[in-house]
Amino acid sequence: MPNYSDIRKKLKVNVSKPEQTELAHLTHFLQTIDNGAKRYFEKEAQNYVLSLQGSESIVEEPWYQGYLPLKWDVPFPPPENPTFKFIDLFAGIGGFRLAFQNLGGKCVFSSEWNHFAQQTYEANFGEVPFGDITKIDEKEIPSHDILVAGFPCQPFSIAGVSKKNALGKKHGFLDETQGTLFFDVARILKLKRPKSFLLENVKNLVSHDKGNTFKVILGTLKELGYNVHFKVLDGKYYVPQHRERIVIVGFDKDVYNGEESFEFPKMPENPPLVVEDILERNVSEKYTLSEKLWNYLQTYAKKHKAKGNGFGFGLVEMDSITRTLSARYYKDGSEILIPQEGKNPRRLIPKECARLQGYPDDFQIPVSDTQAYKQFGNSVVTSLMQDVGKQILKVIQTK
């Protein structure tokens, strides 16, 4: 039985630039070859293999016959006997995918525009996501039971809105590059009609533009024929991080008549983990703040405190939880600093950031620290999303 890693080398699966759709088709085909979704990817996968230099030695009729069954020697292989299908939009590094695969789901389509995130995704799941969702025809997406999407939050986040205002740029739905991507989710829902969906975004989405943005989103989902449930959930009950996010779940009214018995998971009274639980004991000195940066952060904090502002660094307490990890963490690490006896505080290392988002230790990080910080800062708390997924499955697996 050949390994995916061997086939990966032979077929030159290497995410080195954006929009490598040929690799997306190939890996999606290999992942779905044993179910009805393969027809969406087979032709382009075949064309790619035929285009390879020396392909005469690779291609058979059918070309993939010699490869199957395939052993998926990746950290998180597809389940052997899946009980439902889902798609992973704005997939990032696969926080949703990890959660729903753990629940027995088979991912039949993924999309993520950032090719560094694609590298991490492929290293862990053996699949290259498709790129820009705005360029993907919804007709080319396989049927599925659940759509999951963490559509971009920058147009609605407090930090994102403040930055855009300062730069004189538009935000929310007026941000034409990111703010309207919700409607790409809507067009896929309209055509493919999954039984359910799970959307995640920043808490500020609810209050953005005096509530009008969220009103448009809910109205659109209801017009599409979905009964909608939403709640702000805090990741601190799963990881030692204060991370509030709006979670939106919907069910097809044609299937459930708006009568589904869905409830969000109940949060425990006290967070189960503290910062100390996720820290490494021996950390390279390169993560300790320089004198120059540490002095700058202290001066910056004092200046804003004098003005009555809340800006400043976040020096954590070991028996407590952290602030929200953000995609800007790579800049200075200021929101989450770990105190060190006898020397300056340090940043989290990428592995600790992974733990802070609920990822297991065997999750691979094949990118630079800078890219890793961005990726984990943009991720979902995967363990929280898994519990939300459990509640969804209680509904869809009973009908």
Out of 153, 233, 325, 338, pick the active-site residue: 153
Contacts of 158 (CB under 8 A, 6+ apart): 202, 204
For helices 115-125 and 369-377, give the axis angle rounded to 10 degrees. Answer: 80
Four-CA torsion 184, 96, 391, 275, nearest 10 degrees: -130
Q: How many CB atoms lie within 10 A of CB 9?
A: 11
Instruction: Of 165, 101, 130, give the one whose Cα is nearest residue 28.
Output: 130
β strands within the chain, DSSP E: 84-89, 105-110, 146-149, 196-202, 226-234, 244-252, 338-340, 343-346
Instruction: Of 220, 31, 23, 44, give the one whose Cα is nearest residue 140.
Output: 44
Are 314 and 335 a contacting pair, CB within 8 Å? yes
Instruction: Of 126, 141, 128, 78, give the one whose Cα is nearest residue 105.
Output: 78
**Torsion sign, CA atoms 63, 69, 72, 78:** positive
Which two tokens mark 223? 């017009």
**Cα–Cα distance between 370 and 328 in angstroms, integer?**
9
**Cα–Cα distance between 113 and 239 in angstroms, integer?**
27
Cα-to-chain-centroid distance, residue 280: 24
**Cα–Cα distance between 120 and 115 in angstroms, integer?**
9
Which two tokens mark 136? 């993907």
Which two tokens mark 53? 């230099």
**Cα–Cα distance between 65 and 13 in angstroms, integer?**
19
Is 153 one of the catalytic residues?
Answer: yes
Q: Active-site positions?
A: 153
